[in-house]
């Protein structure tokens, strides 16, 4: 099975443009941000209120403390009130304070390539590895334990914390697509019943407001839902053909929001499975990638351009210039609501603040 995803197909462009934009800076750099980047962008809409002008956020990128050529990847809020991220090529997991101080932990197996991570209810970090068929657990102090998932060379891709206290992950191996559940004691269960046959390419997974886990199926062009008991349902009505579904996140409106990388859209799905797509305000070729909710809005990176998009509850979209948006992942600070971005190609972490 091909492991090439919509995100990976953009990799050469991402690396080239980010290198031009950021160079080999050290320390931190403030990145000027101004008015919306796209001529067709609209003012943000707010539910029940008149439209208000788009604010002018600012961003700072931090490089100090991140080892060279580490390639920061997934990022999430975690223990100690810090942000935590993986270093795909560096083989490490690191934390960064809101002031930008980075601490790296090197207790992972050699060549582990940590990919995506999440903070568990048990106070630890749980992560997937790009080249191994295991789920890893790391304490805030850096002690690592790994748990085997199956008999494949690789499989676990994205991971999220469930309402049931377990960790849930997408499993995408040479022979199997499944949704996995791992308890905090390390017991693994894979669920396949209800998934379409063939290589559906399960990609991202997120906890929904309904207590279920929701996930994207990149090749099958569907959104999936799995209950805590393991019952899977799929939804495809209202999704553009060959949309290239990538990332998914719970929105502030009680729905799930996801990106359509190939269709150049973002979309909303209700807990009942009704899909609405939004494209107005997204520049051609933007390639929406990672998505997150913050301060009552939904935000997404554009893998084909140096911008971040912001979506109102009503679907109004505005874009902002941000060189590091070519990077991999975006998350929101659970306390302050700032956005944090991993700059995969620039080897930095960006704090994006209104």
By the 10 Å C-beta count (0-12 exposed, 13-18 middle, 19+ buried), 284 is classed as: exposed
Span 60-68, average pLDDT: 97
334 or 153, which is more confident?
A: 153
pLDDT higher than 80, residue 7: no
pLDDT at 53: 56
Query: Where does the pLDDT of residue 37 fall: very low under 50, low under 70, confident under 90, or very high at 90 and above?
Result: very low
Name the residue range of residue 48's domain.
Answer: 6-353
Q: Answer yes or no: is 106 within a domain.
A: yes
pLDDT higher than 90, residue 73: yes
Buried/exposed 124-159: b ≥16 CB within 10 Å, e otherwise: bbbbbbbebbbbbbbebebebebbebbeeebbbbbb
Q: How far is CA 79 from CA 49, 71, 142, 255, in A?
A: 37, 22, 12, 27
Cα 81 → chain centroid:
19
By the 10 Å C-beta count (0-12 exposed, 13-18 middle, 19+ buried), 43 is classed as: middle
Give the number of domains in the chain. Answer: 1
Q: Answer yes or no: is 62 within a domain.
A: yes
Query: Where does the pLDDT of residue 322 fall: very low under 50, low under 70, confident under 90, or very high at 90 and above?
Result: confident
Q: 5-9, 189-193, 219-223, 243-247: lowest mean pLDDT where? A: 5-9
Residues with Cβ within 8 Å of residue 314, at least 6 apart in sequence: 45, 47
Q: Please tell me the distance from the alpha carbon of residue 196 to that of residue 22, in angstroms, as a whole number.
A: 42
Buried/exposed 183-221: b ≥16 CB within 10 Å, e otherwise: eeeeebebbeeebbeebbbbbbbbbbbbebbbbbbbbbb
Query: Where does the pLDDT of residue 25 fall: very low under 50, low under 70, confident under 90, or very high at 90 and above?
Result: very low
Q: Answer yes or no: is 305 within a domain.
A: yes
Q: Answer yes or no: is 94 within a domain.
A: yes
Sign, Cα dihedral of 77, 80, 85, 91: negative
Q: 24-38, 72-86, 146-160, 175-189: lowest mean pLDDT where? A: 24-38
Q: Tell me the pairing of strands 256-260 and 144-148.
A: unpaired
SS3 325: helix
pLDDT at 14: 35
For residue 36, what is the enclosing H or E element? none
Q: Answer yes or no: is 1 within a domain.
A: no
Looking at residue 215, which CATH number applies to its domain? 2.130.10.10
Q: Phi and psi (nearest 5°) for 111?
A: 70, 20
What predicted TM-score, i.e. pTM, was given to this entire model? Answer: 0.85
Q: Tell me the HSE value of 25 on the side-chain side, using a 13 A CA sphere.
A: 23
pLDDT at 153: 85
């Amino acid at each position: 099975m091909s492991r090439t995803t919509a995100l990976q197909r953009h990799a050469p462009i991402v690396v080239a443009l980010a290198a031009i934009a950021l160079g080999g800076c050290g320390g931190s750099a403030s990145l000027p941000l101004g008015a919306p980047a796209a001529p067709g962008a609209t003012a943000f809409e707010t539910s029940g209120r008149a439209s208000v002008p788009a604010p002018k956020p600012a961003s700072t990128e931090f490089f100090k403390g991140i080892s060279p050529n580490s390639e920061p990847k997934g990022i999430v809020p975690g223990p100690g009130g810090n942000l935590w991220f993986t270093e795909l090529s560096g083989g490490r997991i690191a934390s960064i304070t809101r002031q930008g101080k980075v601490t790296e932990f090197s207790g992972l197996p050699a060549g582990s390539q940590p990919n995506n991570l999440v903070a568990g209810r048990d106070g630890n970090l749980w992560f997937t590895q790009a080249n191994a068929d295991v789920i890893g657990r790391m304490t805030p102090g850096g002690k690592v334990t790994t748990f085997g998932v199956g008999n494949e060379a690789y499989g676990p891709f994205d991971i999220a914390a469930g309402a049931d206290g377990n960790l849930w992950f997408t499993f995408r191996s040479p022979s199997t697509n499944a949704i996995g559940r791992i308890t905090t004691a390390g017991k693994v269960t894979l669920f396949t019943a209800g998934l379409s046959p063939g290589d559906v390419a399960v990609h991202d997974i997120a906890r929904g407001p309904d207590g279920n886990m929701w996930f994207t199926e990149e090749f099958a062009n569907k959104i999936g839902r799995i209950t805590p008991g393991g019952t899977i349902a799929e939804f495809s009505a209202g999704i553009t053909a060959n949309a290239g579904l990538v990332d998914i996140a719970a929105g502030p409106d009680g729905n799930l929001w996801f990106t359509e990388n190939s269709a150049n859209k973002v979309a909303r799905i209700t807990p009942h499975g009704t899909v609405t797509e939004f494209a107005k305000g997204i520049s051609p070729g933007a390639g929406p990638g990672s998505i997150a909710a913050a301060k009552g809005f939904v935000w997404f990176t554009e893998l084909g351009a140096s911008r971040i998009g912001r979506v109102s509850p009503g679907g109004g979209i505005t874009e902002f210039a941000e060189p590091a948006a070519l990077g991999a992942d975006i998350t929101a600070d659970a306390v302050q609501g700032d956005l944090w971005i991993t700059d995969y190609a620039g080897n930095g972490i960006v704090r994006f603040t209104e």
